[in-house]
Amino acid sequence: MARAESVVGVVGAGTMGRGIAQVLAEAGVQVLLHDASEAAAHAGRGFACDMIERAVQKGRMDASAGKAAKARIVPALSLDRLGQAEIIIEAIVEDLSAKRELIARLDPILDPAAIIASNTSSLSITAIAAGSAHPERVAGLHFFNPVPLMKVVEVIRGVETAEQVIERLIGLVESFGHFPVVTDDSPGFVVNHAGRGLYTEGLRVVQEGVTDPATVDLLMREAAGFRMGPFELLDLTGLDVSYTVMRKIYDQFWQEPRFRPTPLPERQVQAGHFGRKTGRGFYRYRDGAMERPAEIAPPALAGSAARIWLDRSTISDQAFLSALAARLADWHDDGMAPAEESICLVAPIGLDATQAALSAGTDPARTVAVDPLFGPDRRLTLMTSPAMQRAFRDAAWAVLSASGAKVSVVRDSPGFVVQRVVATIINIACDIAQQLIASPGDIDKAVRLGLGYPAGPLSLGDTLGPARILAILDGLLARTGDPRYRASLWLRRRAELGLSLLSSEVSLS
């Protein structure tokens, strides 16, 4: 497919359509850009040409190559002009009826061998293809915004899609340097499906009163290493859009508990607080800049510094506590049992502070939990039980801060905050692999490129340890009884067998 003389029609000259036209033209493809509005078609071409010229001015493209690329984008002012196209990429409004109607109009115009690809982000390709007399030539080609920068494209196979159609679309995507992810027709495909964990679990944490949105975001950035937390992302993408996708995927999976949203985003939408675009969402914005709430300062270290005793039981991560002990040299109580006034520090996986104190046999009034998942050199999460006395909490907070750590304090929650969110992300990716929606390697790369995560979710699970992720989920399920935390069999079996989460099974053929 990657031939300079190839002709591709792009229907819809909005944000997505003009970006698609740009990358195709830069790759040597003749583009026929159509829109229901002639003015929009010309404007879309003009925008794409401006972006190409900007690349020339910045030295990313030769001037002659830029001139040739711009010449390849031609406004097609009627659908009939698209008859010469080998592939049509539909990028119109996200409405099933509109897409079906367009495809029905294209059928008699196109050559029988031509392909129709929909850039839908959430509609069923199979349902869209039902609008065609030739559903075998209809597939999905889901780009991400901005198209030139987001280097992943989902190639979606409907129930009737012919395999040669998928192969040609893979070749087209590779021709302009993007990564094609082949996926079956499933709600959310791969990227939006995998992205549910960050949003829904972040919302659940706040709904339960564990902490506030800003602290969740802070921990996901500075403890887990993500570029943005769930509430920053919701504000950036727009709650009016994101909440609709949440509801749609939840319903399309027949109310699968893993994708269950909370009332929080609906309240924001009802209030018209969509995020950055309206000046207010989970955060407030002034002149487009986010106003982050000030972080609470740690308490002052008392004159006679508190002593911290580190739990030696099996419920705590001993490697983490050993590393932490080196930082707490001046405050470390190294007795076999804690002194009467010492703070008891536990580091559990998948437990809350109440469970940890009772399991370790320490005094709940002076037992505080620290999340060990990402080690002691990142932001620490300090978690208290309802029995924790404020003086001991403040002393632990002050000592850890004085040792050089950044510390956030949260209320009792099995799995803290980061454990919960990260384990949910990994679990959903494992279930995508279990359902054979896409290959493990494609899932990992698609999520990393499409969502900007620090690593693919399956690779992240391997780094943290599948057995630890399983322990977090099993702990959450046992404590809450909520089936949203049931572990994917893909994860459970690989954790039990000591295998990588990226390992595929032997083919049945």
Tell me if 179 sits within 8 A of 172, measured CB to CB. Answer: no
Q: For residue 304, what pLDDT is reported?
A: 66
- Where does the pLDDT of residue 414 fall: very low under 50, low under 70, confident under 90, or very high at 90 and above? very high
| pLDDT beyond 90 at 505 | no
| pLDDT beyond 80 at 406 | yes
How large is the average pLDDT for residues 223-242? 95
pLDDT tens per residue, range 184-220: 999 999 999 999 999 999 999 999 999 999 999 999 9
Long-range contacts of 134-139 (CB under 8 A, 24+ apart): 134/107, 135/159, 135/160, 135/161, 136/160, 136/161, 136/162, 136/165, 137/113, 137/161, 137/162, 137/165, 138/103, 138/165, 139/115, 139/165, 139/166, 139/169
For strand 87-90 and strand 138-142, is the pairing parallel, antiparallel, or unpaired?
Answer: unpaired
pLDDT tens per residue, range 373-391: 999 999 999 999 999 999 9
Q: Which of 99, 197, 83, 86 is nearest to 142 (CA)?
A: 99
- Where does the pLDDT of residue 302 fall: very low under 50, low under 70, confident under 90, or very high at 90 and above? confident
The owner of tokens 């990028």 is 91
Tell me how far CA of residue 133 lies from CA of 92, 130, 349, 380, in angstroms.
Answer: 20, 8, 55, 59
The beta-strand segments (E) located in 113-189 are: 115-118, 138-142, 152-157, 179-184
How large is the average pLDDT for residues 39-57? 96
- Where does the pLDDT of residue 394 fall: very low under 50, low under 70, confident under 90, or very high at 90 and above? very high
How large is the average pLDDT for residues 467-488? 98
How large is the average pLDDT for residues 395-404? 94
- Where does the pLDDT of residue 1 fall: very low under 50, low under 70, confident under 90, or very high at 90 and above? very low
How large is the average pLDDT for residues 418-446? 97
Q: For residue 122, what pLDDT is reported?
A: 84
How large is the average pLDDT for residues 340-349? 95
How large is the average pLDDT for residues 30-54? 96
- Where does the pLDDT of residue 316 fall: very low under 50, low under 70, confident under 90, or very high at 90 and above? very high
pLDDT tens per residue, range 93-134: 999 999 999 999 999 999 999 999 999 988 999 999 998 999
Active site residues: 121, 142, 154, 192
Count of other CB atoms within 10 angstroms of residue 302 = 12
- Where does the pLDDT of residue 506 fall: very low under 50, low under 70, confident under 90, or very high at 90 and above? confident
The owner of tokens 């129709």 is 116
Q: Which of 488, 429, 435 is nearest to 459 (CA)?
A: 429
* Distance in Å from the first CA to the final CA of the chain: 29
Q: For residue 5, what pLDDT is reported?
A: 44
Instruction: Respond yes or no on whether the N-terminal peptide bond of residue 146 is cis (omega within 30° of 0).
Output: yes
d(CA 160, CA 172): 20
How large is the average pLDDT for residues 263-269? 95
